[in-house]
Amino acid sequence: MASQAARRGGVMRPPSSGVRAAAARSPAASFLLAAAAVAALVGGFYFWLVVSSFRLPDSGDAGCRPDGEGSWAVGMFYGSSPLALRPIELEGRSNGNSSAWPVANPVLTCATATEAGYPSNFVADPFLYIEGDTLFLFFETKTTTSMQGDIGVARSFDQGATWEFLGIALDEAWHLSYPFVFKYENEIYMMPEGNKKKELRLYRAIKFPLEWTLEKVLVNKPLIDASLIQFEGYWWLFASDFTRHGVEKNAELEIWYSNSPLGPWTEHKQNPIYKSDKSLGARNGGRLFVFEGSLYRPGQDCSGTYGRRVKLYKVEKLSKEEYKEVPVNLGIDEPKKGRNAWNGMRFHHMDAQRLASGAWIAVMDGDRVPSGDSTRRSLIGYIAFLLASALVIFVGFMKGAITCYIPSSLWVPLTRRTELPRIFSVHRFNQKVRRYSTSISRYISAAKTKLGEKTWSNMLFFCVVALFTIVNVCIAVHFLYGGNGAEEAYTYQGQHSQFTMVTMTYEARLWNLKVFIEHYSRCESVREIVVVWNKGNPPSSDAFDSTVPVRIRVEEINSLNNRFRVDPLIKTRAVFELDDDIMMTCTDLEKGFRVWREHPERMAGFYPRMIDGNPLQYRNERYARGKNGYNLILTGAAFMDSEFAFKTYWSEKAREGRDYVHKNFNCEDLLMNFLYANASSTRTVEYVHPAWAIDTSKLSSVAISRDTQKHYDIRTDCLAKFSSIYGPLPQKWEFGMREDHWDK
């Protein structure tokens, strides 16, 4: 075959060159595939461990989608003074129809408008109009159809605990917001911001609250967030004009005055009052109000991000020639839960008004993400993905280069000898190429030799590159698939609520408790954490890193019955009993709370068991899975109605069971299940599948039940005892019966 090639005048290539070329491709391709597979596995694991805990928007929802302007919502506040307001959840207002004991902020969200048939991404800039015992709330709602702000309106008959979305009060061809509503000479007016129209318009209600007509243009300037107040004989207009020369956006304030809110308006001599420094609260943050004879103005601190917080100013001088204000304490506790709080990142608007009773009521908007967050998260995610891809390709190329064979014929095309001298210029060009290729080959060979050495430095190099790749994969997954990065609470019947966490521990498990409290206090619906201290010297409440109150309840005797002791200081109906050695995501807690609120007469928990057999035998969750059902929920991680559960547990009929629990130091959760079953002929337990849960007792030597078989034997005896006293447990309920699949 070789002689035939020579006779045809061709140049014979080494027969093994094709094999070597294929071999050169194989390591690189194999490494690329392996690296991609590892990155995918790491990304999937990270998604399961961390990102799955974030609440993601439902792709079927028409509203409440990620929006660059934020995810604003509205909350209610009450107090005897506008300088000492408290959120609705601290006022004890309840709604049994939504199992909200108590109702918690936010009371109005994008879901309120969306579920009423007006898809919205957020609601903001709330203004109250009070008519007797009825509250009307006007606000900006960013509709998903036009992606611009319209003015929505809602109504409440119970002082703001529940709201009915009535519809869109005002819709123009341009963006509308900041619907300042007021009454003047028996007419109701609205002065919304519409600066895209480059004028400040006044509308009058012709059929309140949904029909309005243009009354007049007050000022031919693109004024932003304009507020009116009648004070000391004049009407004063506070607003911002960011088109004024030499002013910084969100840092300008100007004042106008008139004898009537209908105008004409005259500019204040000191205009602009502010023109720089966005942190000073120049831009209005809601309605001005008078308290004890003094005028107060809420403004927006826009440092760091738009609408970072409301700042309150007391006006000391206001005349046609002078204006002076000084900052005062807003009187509202700032949120501490970050993105897990509805107003954790921003709250930029407040409308406080005095009721006929003399008490004060206020609405405030808030956001759990900073301005532009969705765009920023997408950008970071895509950049991380590109970096991870580039690193995989780079390492694959380097690995392939180590074993790659490059024949000299690749650099210069081989031709017949008779053709080489045919064209002199081509010959000279080939010589230059050969000379340069020889130099390049020498450098490549040196690099291959260096990289091919199995040294610690080479291994470290590739490990570092692999680590950076994995980090970038995790970052990409986190920012592209992690929603807004918050573990949000779920609503039921359009309302939020709160629960109290109760855990039982003692001195030897203090390290567990500190981690426990630091983590769970950040969950949005947690109102308070009660620590049942069974033994040893109790710590101070100040010893914990907590965003909610921590109460140490010291018990006189060391008994498992203390977990369910009646506690009149608990302010919520819902109690979440959780062992101090169980760690799970806040989102799973919020799911469990939502399930409990659907049926507050049941226990809702995360650890199912199937109790059956003759005699009854205690088995683990694997047995329940094999039976595809459960009839008992461990109360070491379960929601229950504190009023019913605790009183029932400490009733006279439960005395014999309590004595047995105290004697054996076990089975308090089994007793609670029997008591529930004895008190009802319907379903008593509900299971919620957690994304993941970690039992930290495996990391310590102080677990109560380290001998599993002995623990199970004791619990089997408990089943026999309790069934003889309180009757049988119900038949099983199958897994996967919920439409949301939270019980699979």
State which residues form the domain around 714.
499-734
Which is more confidently placed, 705 or 485? Answer: 485
pLDDT classification of 478: cutoffs 50, 70, 90:
confident
pLDDT tens for residues 56-104? 555 446 889 989 999 999 999 999 999 999 999 999 999 999 999 999 9
Query: Which amino acid is it at 673?
Result: N
Residue that finishes a domain, picked among 371, 396, 429: 371
Assess whether pLDDT exceeds 70 at residue 395: yes
Residues 76 and 32 in one domain: no
Helix (H, G, I), strand (E, B) or coil at 73: strand
| Nearest Cα residue to 488 out of 47, 71, 62 | 71
- For residue 413, the model assigns a pLDDT of 53
Assess whether pLDDT exceeds 90 at residue 343: yes
Residue that finishes a domain, picked among 425, 449, 484: 484
**CB 402 within 8 Å of CB 27:** yes
Q: Look at residue 410 and tell me if it is in a domain.
A: no
Residues 91 and 59 in one domain: no
Q: Look at residue 490 and tell me if it is in a domain.
A: no
Residues 472 and 537 in one domain: no
Domains identified in the chain, total number: 3
Where residue 302 sits, what CATH number does that domain have?
2.115.10.20
Residues 123 and 258 in one domain: yes
Using a 10 angstrom Cβ sphere, with 0-12 exposed, 13-18 middle and 19 or more buried, the burial of residue 293 is: exposed
Rounded to an integer, the average pLDDT of 637-644 is 97
- Of 669, 695, 740, 743, the catalytic one is 669
What phi-psi label fits residue 78: left (phi over 0), alpha (psi between -120 and 50 degrees) or beta? beta
Determine the Cα–Cα distance for residues 173 and 604; give it in Å rounded to an integer.
Answer: 49
Rounded to an integer, the average pLDDT of 599-616 is 96
Which is more confidently placed, 184 or 506? Answer: 184
- For residue 54, the model assigns a pLDDT of 62
Q: Look at residue 419 and tell me if it is in a domain.
A: no
Instruction: Give me the torsion for CA of 613, 616, 620, 626, rounded to 10°.
Output: 10
Residues 188 and 206 in one domain: yes
Assess whether pLDDT exceeds 50 at residue 632: yes
**CB 357 within 8 Å of CB 351:** no
Assess whether pLDDT exceeds 70 at residue 567: yes
Helix (H, G, I), strand (E, B) or coil at 685: strand
Residues 450 and 525 in one domain: no
Tokens for 115, please give them. Answer: 């579920």
pLDDT classification of 674: cutoffs 50, 70, 90:
very high
Residues 357 and 376 in one domain: no
pLDDT tens for residues 496-533? 999 999 999 988 788 889 999 999 999 999 999 999 99
Residues 351 and 446 in one domain: no
Residues 275 and 398 in one domain: no
Q: Look at residue 221 and tell me if it is in a domain.
A: yes
Q: Look at residue 22 and tell me if it is in a domain.
A: no
Active site residue 225: no
Q: Look at residue 9 and tell me if it is in a domain.
A: no
Q: Look at residue 586 and tell me if it is in a domain.
A: yes
- For residue 420, the model assigns a pLDDT of 47
- For residue 38, the model assigns a pLDDT of 65
Q: Look at residue 432 and tell me if it is in a domain.
A: no
Residues 112 and 255 in one domain: yes
Which is more confidently placed, 698 or 507? Answer: 507
pLDDT tens for residues 292-323? 999 999 999 999 999 999 999 999 999 999 99
Assess whether pLDDT exceeds 70 at residue 330: yes
Residue that finishes a domain, picked among 350, 371, 392: 371
pLDDT tens for residues 408-430? 555 555 455 555 455 555 556 66
Where residue 659 sits, what CATH number does that domain have?
3.90.550.10
Rounded to an integer, the average pLDDT of 143-160 is 95
Residues 89 and 184 in one domain: yes
H or E, element range at 651: none
Residues 465 and 546 in one domain: no
